[in-house]
Structure 1
């Protein structure tokens, strides 16, 4: 008998309807809001999909082999997912990240055996990415580069998009996603637009002054190379405060314990639901809330 491995449990995450957060106006407009529970992946986030995809395809092409050292600059979830995928496939993993990210994330990476290099907060992810590039040039490992690697959005074109189309039976009208590396929104957009060009793709960006893990607005020089503006119909800004409040409400009112970027995406989905009618709006619940307990977002 053939049993599943941990790799086989990545993807096919639940798609669930919000019951209590939609108000009377949303119900009057006959709109349905659905959350894609990516925290149900084995390493706890949507990033499990591209992490395995990038390692698997690089190995198939002969660019890397088990025992090699991989390097990646990460804001957290990709690092945890890569650490898991590296452990599964027999690679050493070096992760570079700003020092202000939650202790739960750092400990999760270490649990999978990754080496962690912390960089100054003021340098942000841009500094972390520059350091990763220098380490690769020094011959200290291979960068998979989630920001430029086409195997990142490919994972969502091959899996996430088809799952949304299947599970809504083609009824999806709007897709809302946080934009970090932009891999999720790029891959899902490509697939859904091929199925129905009328589906609206909405990207979540941070409001001025907000620092939301998983939602970024990049300086032009650091814009991910995988990003194609034509694949996003509109962007909506969301504040850190509103994202955190919505994350708490999702847990307390829907029983969905999720991270801050998921709260931001939900806030935008609810906003859209006050504008349209007869819509099926899907947003990505990127990860689980237990990854943020030390940040104070969920006070006891």
Structure 2
């Protein structure tokens, strides 16, 4: 029988495209190119498809879970949607816990894949509260927490797939890698792989400026810092304001035809700062999801 692909087989191998207008003549005059890795092209719409697939497959290979089991995860959206998709394909029940101040599109996407959604009050602690509840539910025997914040399979997904893709797509010419920082799986994994090929590559993280709330970009309190995060693996941090990220999300759509989420735009703000300082640089930033996931927030009005 001919072997046909499944939806899982379409995860990864996303395009890398050059920005044409936003960088401007001054950045071009410095010999710099800014490239966008379009992770919204993954089947469930974000870079988190890679981590979700890796975490579920990894747990299966270790004999920790089997089809029919219930999986639990605290999420701000993209990981939950990706896990719901992979769980649907592989035959798991999925319970997702998310703060109630995140977009309606994210909620609808999770339940469309058949996941059970628990909304927690953002005023009681947001993601930190959601993570604590997931841990308690596992202790109560209600399912298995995959824990994207501490699971090395999160990072491994990007060491094995995203990093090699970027290296190949740039013919090894990449000089700077820029990513929003949430769970930090993407920046840790891609950075690890790229620097295994060229130790001089600079890894830059986008973090929220004081008082800014940008979905997908976090600066965690010490007690909740992801265990997969190693700060020494990031060379520089760029603080991004909510206004800067939202303005850039609109510009990306209008000027480049790239309809991307707010954290993706924040990563571009950081990448442009790098481009204003560097010379003869090949700068890659992650477009971690699509803009249609944020329509109800009004950011594109």
Aligned equivalent of 2:58: 57
1:95 shift after superposition: 0.3
Give matches, 1:114-129, under 5 Å. Answer: 114-122=115-123, 123-129=125-131
1:276 to 264, 275, 278: 278
2:245 to 230, 243, 253: 243
* Local SS of the residue matching 1:274: helix
Aligned equivalent of 1:203: 205
Q: Which runs of 5+ in 2 are unaligned?
A: none
Aligned equivalent of 2:26: 25
Whether 2:29 is the aligned partner of 1:35: answer no
Partners of 2:231 and 2:21 in 1: how far apart?
Answer: 34
Partners of 1:30 and 1:89 in 2: how far apart?
Answer: 47
Partners of 2:188 and 2:274 in 1: how far apart?
Answer: 20
Query: What is the TM-score with the length of structure 2 in the denominator?
Result: 0.99
Partners of 2:91 and 2:232 in 1: how far apart?
Answer: 38
CA-atom RMSD in angstroms:
0.5
Aligned equivalent of 2:180: 178
Displaced runs of 4 or more, over 3 A: none
Give matches, 1:219-230, under 5 Å. Answer: 219-230=221-232
Partners of 2:23 and 2:131 in 1: how far apart?
Answer: 39
Residues 210-237 of structure 1: per-residue CA shift (max 9 Å, x gap): 0101000000000000001111111110
Aligned equivalent of 2:4: 3
1:30 shift after superposition: 0.7
Residues 167-214 of structure 1: per-residue CA shift (max 9 Å, x gap): 000000000000000000000011011000000000000000001010
1:103 shift after superposition: 0.3
Whether 2:92 is the aligned partner of 1:71: answer no
Aligned equivalent of 1:113: 114
Whether 2:146 is the aligned partner of 1:140: answer no
Partners of 2:186 and 2:23 in 1: how far apart?
Answer: 25
Q: Which runs of 5+ in 1 are unaligned?
A: none
1:271 shift after superposition: 1.1
Partners of 2:109 and 2:255 in 1: how far apart?
Answer: 28
Partners of 1:67 and 1:4 in 2: how far apart?
Answer: 23
Query: What is the TM-score with the length of structure 1 in the denominator?
Result: 0.99
Count of aligned positions: 299
Aligned equivalent of 2:82: 81
Whether 2:268 is the aligned partner of 1:266: answer yes
Residues 9-31 of structure 1: per-residue CA shift (max 9 Å, x gap): 00000000000101111011010
* Local SS of the residue matching 2:277: coil
